[in-house]
Structure 1
Amino acid sequence: MARTTRRLALAAVLMFGFGFALVPLYNVMCEAMGLNGKSATLTGAAAVTSAEGSPPATLGREVTVEFVGSTNADLPWDFRPAVGRMKVRVGETAEAVYVARNRAAHAVTGQAIPSVAPGLAARHFHKIECFCFTEQTLAAGEQKDMTVRFRVDPELADSVHTLTLGYTFFDLHKAPADEHAGHAAGGG
């Protein structure tokens, strides 16, 4: 009986560990494959790529990038793109600015989660520098410009003329507390 109990407990721990490991594995796979609106990020030498190696047909090609910004209902911020859309040449680095303002009477830390649509084109959208790479803290009433530098890969299908880069900001410190409160109240 004790041996069976130990085996069942070990099986439960292993299943929990496996389930816990699936989340980062899922995120890595989505980003690598450009699925679920996740895009690849470039670092180091790969980030400094020019259009010189591009096939001649793509050198002058332009695509429209639309920008969208939103916040989770729990985050007391205003968050929007400074410009709603821009034309960019594939293979060239471009820059966009989002504006965030904390409406709370205290400092708030948030994290932006990016997405790119259409999903299959996301693997060709490369963020070189992005405010989404780190947590962002705004003091009470503070407003801040947040920059993203990106490049659209020349390998993007010719049928794609418009990409949408969206960010949703989440309050990093409020969400876990609310989740626990919901469980304690019988909400989950």
Structure 2
Amino acid sequence: MKNFIVAVKMFLFMSLLTGILYPLAVTVVGQGLFAKQAAGSLVEKDGVLVGSELIAQRFVSDKYFWPRPSAGDYATVASGASNAAPTSVVLKKAVAERQAHGLSGEMLFASGSGLDPHISPEAAKDQMRRIVAARTLSAEKTALVDRLIQEYTEDRQGGLLGEKRVNVLRLNLALDKNL
């Protein structure tokens, strides 16, 4: 009986510590030091919520940069990879369709989460021809698109981790603002 009472007390203590106190402390610190990130890094345009810097969203118009494909159709609840094998007929068909749209490299395959908001600068440059044609841009405006890609390219985290990347939502908002 003594072991049972000790176990119950330990259970209650750990439940209080890990179920209430720790999450509360993390929330308070997060809201205090990283308010924007804790709120979801939401992006507004003219006072209207247009998305989050942290979650990819579908852009279907040829006038915009597209994020990597999503196996879960950009739905946060169903996020994840397709788990299709390299020999999968469905995967081969999807890749062929993406190639027909002029996509190459990383843009042929979904990210692991299906919600990656970034693409590489190379993937952004690969999409320039489509965007320039859809917007019927002059050579001067085409150069501006290239400069926007460079301007919105983020460096490796801390200069060490990951690869250079471009946030698709931010880049598309810049396109609308500058063109």
Normalised to the residue count of structure 1, the TM-score between the two structures is 0.25
Which structure is higher in helix share?
2
Which structure is higher in strand share?
1
Pair member with larger Rg: 2
Normalised to the residue count of structure 2, the TM-score between the two structures is 0.25
